[in-house]
A and B are shown apart, each in its own frame.
Chain A
Amino acid sequence: MKMIRHTLVVIALVMVAAACSSASEGVEVSDPWGRPSPSSASNAAFYMQLEGSDTDDRLVSAESPACQVVELHETQMSDGVMSMQFLPEGIPVPAGETVSLEPGGLHVMCLGVTEALVEGESATVQLQFEESGLVTVDAEIRQS
């Protein structure tokens, strides 16, 4: 009986551990970067890869001490005409999928650069996800 109880406790602990580890595995952000930009009323963009976890998630907003306002945007090209869409609903990151934020597509838009983005340095960007919570990354400042 004691043996069974011990086994149950062990099983319970393993399950708790498993639950904890899966909960902490949120969206993984890799290769965050942006182009150099002086500090002025100018705008900039940050790019990165968002690797989905095992649950559907969504990048809902972002902030950065280097920008007055940060928004999520998407560039669309149609017949050679470029248009930029503001994404008030954010960027969905489906489970198990990788979403690329890259030049000419989805991007984190930095409106009003307040701290110069200097090549070779980095800028802090805080990403707010629906499920994964707040993820802070350092975007490398480079040309491409």
Chain B
Amino acid sequence: MTKWLIIVGGSVLAALLVGLAGWFVVVPRLQPQVFNAQVMQGVDAPDIELQGSNGQPVSLADFEDQVVVVYFGYTFCPDVCPITLSKLARARAMLGDDADDVQVVMVTVDPERDTPEVLREYAARFDPTFLGLTGDPADIDRIATIYGVYYQTVDTESKAGYLVDHTSTVMVIDRSGELKLLVSFDATDDEIAEDLSYLVS
């Protein structure tokens, strides 16, 4: 009888301990991290291989184990692109030392005007680590399409000659190379910094 009690009691206690341990280990992992941005699940970021504003060919694979922030824009754009890039620069600055783990790239949707030199000067206005990417219009077209980015050259009476309508969403690729977040144009510096700090930590 006593033996039974010990066996049953012991088993219950063991089960409780395992359950408790499990609760402490698993539950925190199950708790969803609330990102400010829209979260994508399980999408491998398609590769981007283009000409960098640093004068080198650039591939996403170069940023292994880094968080990569991808923005499609163009240097002729005086309003929305600077807003977005300066927000990204401020958000990155908020990360302190972790900022080294975040690489921001702007893929031009205007390869005709945006040469690597033009992009280098433009990107450096916001953050010296920002990289501009340009290349063959057909390659840019293909990359934009697989990233779900729309862009369209629009003729205008403006002296600008032509302008480019384009998707204003910012994409964030996590350390494992998954396309993780879609950040909308309305996101604030703080919201972006919060999301990035979670991804780098």
Contact = CB atoms under 8 A, between A and B. Distances in A.
A binds B: yes
Interface of A: 35-38, 40-45, 69, 71, 73, 75, 77, 80-86, 88, 103-104, 107, 109-111, 143-144
Contacts of B79: 45, 73, 75, 84, 103-104, 107, 109
A143 to B, nearest CB: 6
B121 A77 contact: no
Nearest to A69: B159
Contacts of A75: 79-80
A71 B184 CA distance: 27
A32 to B, nearest CB: 15
Nearest to B163: A84
Interface of B: 75-80, 82-83, 86, 118, 121-122, 125, 150, 154, 156-160, 163, 165-169, 184-185
Contacts, number: 83
Given A103-B79, A104-B80, A81 B125 contact: no
Contacts of A42: 75, 121-122
A82 B80 contact: yes
Secondary structure class of chain A's binding surface, majority of residues: strand
A81 B166 contact: yes
Nearest to B158: A86
19 contacts: A42-B75, A42-B121, A44-B78, A71-B160, A75-B79, A75-B80, A77-B80, A77-B185, A80-B167, A80-B169, A81-B167, A81-B168, A82-B168, A83-B154, A83-B165, A86-B160, A103-B79, A103-B80, A143-B86
Contacts of A82: 77, 80, 165-168, 185
B83 A36 contact: no
Nearest to A70: B159
